[in-house]
């Protein structure tokens, strides 16, 4: 899967983690399709930078809440000459936490808010997998990696709907691995802990020292380290790894 003959689709591919995954896969020789929901300029700038450095790349809109978005996205990929998708990285999912106004605890959350967070992100991700699979199966082999969260294992007040959405992908991925394994397609999860960023520092404040002290490596993981795990799972050398979860959290879990 090298020499720009294979296409990697990374949803939410221009954010902190998404851009790290995108650049890792670009370095491995894949063509890139980056999706965005709101920040088109950021995604287009990343795609332009990749093209300037020799990687064919597209930035396309994709909204997990839109039940027609997956089909529209695949049509655009096909029309652009990037089909089929050989690698799918499900990275896009809005995170809601206890510090965000309007979504404090589960019992205080608005019905539409928590229902939409679960429904749109689980159904939206599965819609995209279903849309990608026919072409991936025909081209073979293929890789599907979904980004989870260490909160699935740890829990956190205010993150009930978010962790429910992430946990749903664990069960779906393991079952899907059985269905598509004979076609040479692997299905895995990468579960990051809190990723080092300005946002993490602002969110944790003085508590960051206690969080990092709770990990064997004594620090937060970086986006590049999480992306490296994704890069390995989509590589030819990982063909025997499926229905697996790779936790990248500095050893906390």
Helices marked H in the chain: 16-27, 40-52, 69-79, 111-139, 151-154, 160-180, 198-204, 208-213, 223-233
Our CA angle for 77, 79, 84, nearest 5°, is 45
Selected catalytic residue, list 36, 62, 82, 162:
162
Cβ atoms of 107 and 150 within 8 Å: the answer is no
Instruction: Quote helix, strand, coil % in the chain, to nearest 5.
Output: 50, 15, 35
Q: Known catalytic residue: 162? A: yes
Alpha carbon distance 138, 119 (integer Å):
29
User: Running DSSP on this structure, what letter comes out for residue 33?
Assistant: E
Beta strands 7-10; 185-192: pairing state: unpaired
Residues whose CB falls within 8 Å of the CB of residue 108, separated by 6 or more in sequence, listed in order: none
User: Can you tell me which residue has the tokens 């508590």?
Assistant: 207
Identify the bridge partners of residue 192 per DSSP, sorted by sequence position.
Answer: 248
Helix/strand/coil for 77:
helix
User: Running DSSP on this structure, what letter comes out for residue 188?
Assistant: E
> What positions carry a catalytic annotation?
162
């Amino acid at each position: 899967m090298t020499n720009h003959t294979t296409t990697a689709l990374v949803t939410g591919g221009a954010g902190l983690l998404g851009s790290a995954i995108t650049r890792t896969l670009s370095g491995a020789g894949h063509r890139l399709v980056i999706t965005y929901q709101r920040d088109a300029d950021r995604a287009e700038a990343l795609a332009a930078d990749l093209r300037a450095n020799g990687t064919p790349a597209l930035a396309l809109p994709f909204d997990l809440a839109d039940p027609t978005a997956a089909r529209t996205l695949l049509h655009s990929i096909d029309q652009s000459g990037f089909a089929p998708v050989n690698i799918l990285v499900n990275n896009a999912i809005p995170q809601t936490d206890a510090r965000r106004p309007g979504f404090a605890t589960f019992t205080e959350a608005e019905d539409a808010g928590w229902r939409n967070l679960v429904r749109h992100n689980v159904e939206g991700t599965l819609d995209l997998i279903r849309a990608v699979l026919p072409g991936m199966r025909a081209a073979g082999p293929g890789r599907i990696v979904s980004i989870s969260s260490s909160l699935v294992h740890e829990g956190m007040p205010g993150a009930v709907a978010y962790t429910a959405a992430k946990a749903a992908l664990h069960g779906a991925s393991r079952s899907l691995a059985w269905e598509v394994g004979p076609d040479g397609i692997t299905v895995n999860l990468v579960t990051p802990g809190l990723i080092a960023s300005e946002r993490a520092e602002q969110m944790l404040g003085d508590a960051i020292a206690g969080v990092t002290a709770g990990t064997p490596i004594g620090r937060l993981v970086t986006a590049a380290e999480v992306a490296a795990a994704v890069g390995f799972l989509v590589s030819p050398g990982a063909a025997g790894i499926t229905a697996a979860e790779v936790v990248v959290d500095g050893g906390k879990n």
